[in-house]
Chains A and B, each alone.
Chain A
Amino acid sequence: MTDHVARLYAAALALVAFFLTWAAIAARPWAPEATESPQLAALERREQRLRRESALVQRKVERRFAVYHTRLAEREREIAAAQTAPAPSAPAPAAPSVGVVSVPPVTSTRSS
């Protein structure tokens, strides 16, 4: 083995040692294990609550829309029926069973 080859091996070993050391330091094994912050936990709870409420509101909106659509359909049927029905006509006129007479009245009437 020549000196040249020995220096090449030494340089490669130094490079490997350098990267291993870098990886070890980057892993920060001395840092304390991360603990969940109370604010984060509160935010998560709030998010879950909002998700539940949102689902409830969505169900309510869907129910109301269903009722609205039912009523709308009913109203449209009524309108269609009214439009297709024959126009209401006046009741048949009363038979002319009244006339001016000249006998004493049994009662009198006036405007209401």
Chain B
Amino acid sequence: MERHAFRAMGTEVEALLDAAPGPDALLALASVEAAFERLEALLSRFRPESELSRLNAEGSIEPGDDLLAVVRLALAAREYTAGRFDPTLHDALVAAGYDRSFEALEHSGPVDPPSRPVRGGGRLWVRGRRLELEPGVHLDLGGIGKGYAVDRAVELLAPLGPALVNAGGDLAVSGIPAGGLWPVAVELPAGSITLGLAQGALATSGKDRRRWRVGGEDRHHLIDPRTGRPAESDLLTVTVAGRNAVEAEVWAKALFLAGTDAAAAEAEARGLPALFVSADGRTRTAGGLT
């Protein structure tokens, strides 16, 4: 098993390729890193020169294929999650104090008191190849952008053999490795649980990481579009299996907002294999995950 690890999009990225060592494998693994760097340069809201930052600043641009694709995926996700996934929460995240990369946030100490929260539901339009934002609307594509990068990366490795790409919460596989499954440990507050993944992707969202304190109050990055504030959920984390990392990422976020019982019921109804960890540490599975 060939392995390549690097840092991108504010997290550790790991690419595994079940292929004989050689220049092709090395080149493919290097191309994964290059793909992440390229997509981060386009999709990061923390890079002023990124295409996303330009869209947020100018309100209307004709972006390249990747930003266009991610925005289309995000709009579709907002529709099929009935607004629980929302790409227009940029200002709400900033208002909650998440106004710089999390690495910078961790090293900068307490953030300023948040300004007024901004609810989701901002309007944007895709007119041909042009993206247009309603005045005052700004996009954050952090989670879905990472999922998109994972999906693209695993596609790069797929021709060379079974592959897995894991980017801090978003993970996708392609092909069946020699062992028959991809065993992946999902970290729990105490220990871990190992899931065997044959195809598709896993995504975990939660409030156990990417959290900070403002005025003695805990904040985290999972914003409820209905309130514009960090979601108040009895869940600590949600892990969802999907056909691809984007889909898994979207549902992990959407189910997190619902709370344990409603999320488990929805996962069952939709047939979404899911693992829920509640704030008190209890775990629960749904959607056919056993």
Q: Is B209 an interface residue (CB 8 A)?
A: yes
Tell me which residues across on chain B come within 8 A of A110, comparing CB atoms: 168-169, 186-187, 204, 206, 208-209, 237
Q: Is A91 an interface residue (CB 8 A)?
A: yes
Contact (A98, B289) CB under 8 Å given A105-B185, A109-B184, A111-B237 = yes
For window 62-104 of A, CB contacts with B under 8 Å fall at 88-104
A interface residues, Cβ below 8 angstroms from B: 88-112
Tell me which residues across on chain B come within 8 A of A90, comparing CB atoms: 80-81, 270
Q: Which chain B residue shows the least CB distance to A91?
A: B247
Contact, CB under 8 Å: B198 / A97 = yes
Contact, CB under 8 Å: A101 / B76 = no
Q: Is B229 an interface residue (CB 8 A)?
A: no
Q: Which of B202, B208, B272, B273 contacts A109 (CB 8 A)?
A: B202
Q: Contacting chain A: which of B19-27, B56-64, B112-120, B189-197? A: B189-197
Contact, CB under 8 Å: A111 / B206 = yes
Provide a sorted-by-A list of 11 A–B residue pairs whose CB atoms are within 8 angstroms.
Answer: A88-B80, A93-B270, A93-B287, A94-B247, A94-B271, A96-B287, A105-B192, A107-B184, A109-B184, A109-B202, A112-B205
Q: Which of B203, B241, B285 contacts A112 (CB 8 A)?
A: B203
Chain A interface, >50% SS class: loop
A-B contact count (CB 8 A): 136
Contact (A104, B169) CB under 8 Å given A93-B271, A109-B204 = no
Q: Which of B194, B272, B285 contacts A93 (CB 8 A)?
A: B272
Contact, CB under 8 Å: A98 / B166 = no
For window 185-226 of B, CB contacts with A under 8 Å fall at 185-187, 192-200, 202-210
Contact, CB under 8 Å: B200 / A94 = yes
- Please measure, in the bound complex, the distance between the C-alpha atom of A107 and the C-alpha atom of B239, giving whole angstroms: 15
Contact, CB under 8 Å: B243 / A112 = no
Tell me which residues across on chain A come within 8 A of B110, comparing CB atoms: none
From A88, A103, A104, A110, residue with most partner B Cβ within 10 Å: A110
Q: Which of B11, B197, B207 contacts A98 (CB 8 A)?
A: B197
Contact, CB under 8 Å: B146 / A101 = no
Q: Is B34 an interface residue (CB 8 A)?
A: no
Contact, CB under 8 Å: A112 / B271 = no
